[in-house]
Amino acid sequence: MKKINVAKNSGFCFGVRMAVDKALEEAEKSDNVIMLGDIVHNEHVVRKIDSSGVRVVDELPAENPGTLMLRAHGTVPEVYEEANEKGYRIVDATCPLVLEIHDNARGLDKDGYKVVIIGDHGHDEVKGIAGQVKNPIIISSPEEVEEKIPSRVRKIGVVVQSTQNIENAQAIVQKLMTLGREMKYYDTICKPTKLYQAEIRTMPLENDVMIIVGSFTSANTKRLTEISHSLNPKSYQVENGSDIEKGWFDGADTVGVTAGASTPDWIIDEVVKAIEKLNGE
Ligand code: SF4
């Protein structure tokens, strides 16, 4: 009999939960609600939002402006300007913790620091932070530090993408410190991310097999899988219950289950049930 241990901190963070609830609420009120891009990187949630009637668009249509929902990971100021100009009603579901990162970045810029964002290139949250200031520097790994920070920059102000890998951010900060410049650092990795990452550093050592639930397009789920795999090679990422393979659990007594911040509870339950079903076979 396999014992299944579900992580205490897994699945939707409060920011994503709030954004999904708001989108469903707005869809009840109006049949003209749009969103610039998918609400989270999870196809099950995307399908649910889609069937509620919220439309996903790439650009804001000029005709028939209705409600524009802004997603949890925030956006650039130009989107607010354009939406206001075109007459949209904005429902802002940007996570308060992301808004705090925007404030920190703007404050650093105002105080004359060159803003450095530790984050993934091309990620929507990072683009939203970058849009708050002029010409920030984005760094995703310690190797990029020397190449990206020009020698003329004397004051560096650092913020971090809310879902960054803590160890990667620490390694980048340490490298930045060796440059010998004045530096101000805001640790803006959010509390839910810290709790998820703390658990994923112990669970793989305490369980024979680890299952990480979430979409392969979700950066934070991918990070959990990477950390788990580095500690326990019997770590497997699945998108739903049907991805579970019997052979993974041969000889295993304990199975740890965790999930990224964009994974809904109902999918975590489905995966747990699929593992339980193997217990009965
Ligand atoms: S991961 Fe953190 S910052 Fe991002 S939406 Fe969730 S709580 Fe907010």
The helix/strand/coil state of 45 is helix
Q: What is the DSSP letter of 59?
A: S
Measured distance CA(43)–CA(213) in Å, rounded:
12
Regarding the beta carbon of 162 and ligand 1, being less than 6 Å apart is answered yes
Walk me through the domains of the chain, giving residue ranges and CATH numbers. 3-11+192-280 (3.40.1010.20), 14-94 (3.40.50.11270), 97-189 (3.40.1010.20)
Is residue 218 scored above 90 in pLDDT? no
Mean pLDDT, range 215-232, rounded to an integer: 91
Per-residue model confidence as pLDDT tens digits over 240-264: 999 999 999 999 999 999 999 989 9
pLDDT of residue 118: 98
pLDDT of residue 224: 92
pLDDT of residue 1: 56
Mean pLDDT, range 185-213, rounded to an integer: 95
Is residue 215 scored above 60 in pLDDT? yes
What does the mean pLDDT of the chain come to? 94
pLDDT of residue 180: 85
How many A from CA of 239 to the centre of ligand 1? 20
Ligand 1 pocket: which of 98, 100, 102, 223 to mutate (most atoms within 8 A of CB):
98
Regarding the beta carbon of 97 and ligand 1, being less than 6 Å apart is answered yes
pLDDT of residue 47: 93
pLDDT of residue 220: 84
Mean pLDDT, range 83-89, rounded to an integer: 97
End-to-end distance of the chain based on CA atoms, in angstroms? 10
Measured distance CA(23)–CA(91) in Å, rounded:
9
How many A from CA of 71 to the centre of ligand 1? 11
Name 237's bridge partners: 212
pLDDT of residue 76: 95
Q: What is the 3-state secondary structure (H, E, C) of 222-245?
A: HHHHHHHHHHCCCEEEECCHHHCC
Is residue 99 scored above 90 in pLDDT? yes
pLDDT of residue 278: 86
Mean pLDDT, range 223-250, rounded to an integer: 95
Mean pLDDT, range 103-122, rounded to an integer: 97
Per-residue model confidence as pLDDT tens digits over 15-68: 999 999 999 999 999 999 999 998 888 889 999 999 999 999 999 999 999 999
Ligand 1 pocket: which of 13, 14, 166 to mutate (most atoms within 8 A of CB):
13
